[in-house]
Amino acid sequence: MKPKVFLSRRLPPAVMDRLATHADLRVHPEDRVATPAELAAGVRGRDALLCNITDRIDAAVLDAGSPTLRVVANFGVGFNNIDVAAATARRIPVTNTPGVLTDATADLAFALLLATARRLGEGERLVRAGQWTGWEPMQMLGADVTGATLGLVGFGRIGKAMAQRARAFGMRLVYWNRTRLSPSDEASAGAMYLSLAEVLSQADFISLHVAYTPETHHLLNAATLSRMKRTAILINTARGPVVDEAALVQALQAGTIGGAGLDVFEREPQLEPGLFGLNNVVLAPHLGSATIGTRTKMGMIAVDNLLAVAAGQRPPNCVNPQVFA
């Protein structure tokens, strides 16, 4: 018997083909974020929910899937869109897609770092507006990347991949992480461990690579932002609410920090209005994992996870393994 799957949003073709072959598939008919009522209706009578990071999966959705729902497979490494405690209380495994989006996300973080340092957004706007009058010795002078210090806040897979890129650009690396690396891992990463306050005050660029949890909510706020150098640039490809966006806008407007490259926002797709008027920010629409190869791999992992549960096995990427205890 094929597992009955509800897919909240269409995925890359190879993933759709695999689902069509191995599952009895119900797909949300419209290619947009499903409402809570649509999620609840979609999951009714299904064995598996394949959802993505814009779907709010709460107790009501889980209950709508009861008693058949046996797994929630998230299309994404972050899973703060899911009430994992509610799933655990119902003994429903929740899975994610780690590993495969590391390089794409680090590439995007580094692209934002370069774009913000070298004022690419501003330059592109000038050229497109037909206002460029020719080369000038003092026009749009940016920040040097080579030789600058990159502060990594969070040093898991994506933080380390960012470090690898930064080393190739001749940057000095400092990091803060909940758990300090072993001396040999630090040596091979070429990164020095500092307190968060020291990272913030020493770095020319800060790149955020922590998961969003209650502990990392507004980790960057008015107080922590004020520790950064006036010239420092903040890069966020992690999760929007890690930064107090209103405080960030204030710091950027006041010039107490130098700039920001942002791929994620506190209330996506809404942005703190002040961001639009700032030339020293580069804004991207949550593109971290957005390559066809990466999104295909993410989809395949999500399918691996749900098929494993359907076959009575432990899914490879379970974020609440206690449900199997």
Per annotation, catalytic residue among 46, 119, 165, 286: 286
Residues 85-124 that bind ligand DGY (CB under 6 A): 101
Answer yes or no: are the C-beta atoms of 203 and 175 closer than 8 Å. no
* Pairing mode, strands 149-153 and 172-176: parallel
Sort 255 into a burial class: Cβ within 10 Å, 0-12 / 13-18 / 19+.
exposed
Percent helix, strand, coil in the chain, to 5, is: 40, 15, 45
Binding to ligand DGY by residue 53, rule CB under 6 A? yes
> Looking at beta carbons only, is 76 or 154 nearer to ligand DGY?
76
Written as one string, the DSSP assignment of 119-177 is: THHHHHHHHHTT------TTTT-----TTPEEEEE--SHHHHHHHHHHHHTT-EEEEE-
CB of 288 to ligand DGY, least distance (A): 5
Task: Note if 286 is an active site residue.
Answer: yes
CB of 264 to ligand DGY, least distance (A): 7
CB of 98 to ligand DGY, least distance (A): 9
Report the residue from 8, 149, 177, 289 that binds ligand DGY according to the rule CB under 6 A. 289
> Looking at beta carbons only, is 258 or 261 nearer to ligand DGY?
261
Task: Note if 124 is an active site residue.
Answer: no
> Looking at beta carbons only, is 101 or 232 nearer to ligand DGY?
101
Residues 59-78 that bind ligand DGY (CB under 6 A): 76-78
Binding to ligand DGY by residue 288, rule CB under 6 A? yes
Per annotation, catalytic residue among 239, 245, 272, 295: 239
Contact code string over 191-230 relative to ligand DGY, x by CB under 6 A: ----------------------------------------
CB of 250 to ligand DGY, least distance (A): 26
Binding to ligand DGY by residue 15, rule CB under 6 A? no
Non-local (6+) Cβ contacts of 58 within 8 A are 36, 83, 86
Determine the residue type at 280.
Answer: N
> Looking at beta carbons only, is 68 or 270 nearer to ligand DGY?
270
* Pairing mode, strands 149-153 and 191-193: unpaired
Task: Note if 136 is an active site residue.
Answer: no
> Looking at beta carbons only, is 74 or 224 nearer to ligand DGY?
74
* E-assigned strand segments in 194-304: 205-208, 233-236, 259-262, 281-283
CB of 191 to ligand DGY, least distance (A): 23
Round to whole Å and give the CA distance between 20 and 64.
24
240: tokens are 């929007």
Binding to ligand DGY by residue 3, rule CB under 6 A? no
Answer yes or no: are the C-beta atoms of 149 and 205 closer than 8 Å. yes
Half-sphere exposure of 169 (CA within 13 A, CB side): 19
> Which residues are at the interface with ligand DGY (CB under 6 A)?
53, 76-78, 101, 288-289
As annotated, the active-site residues are 239, 268, 286
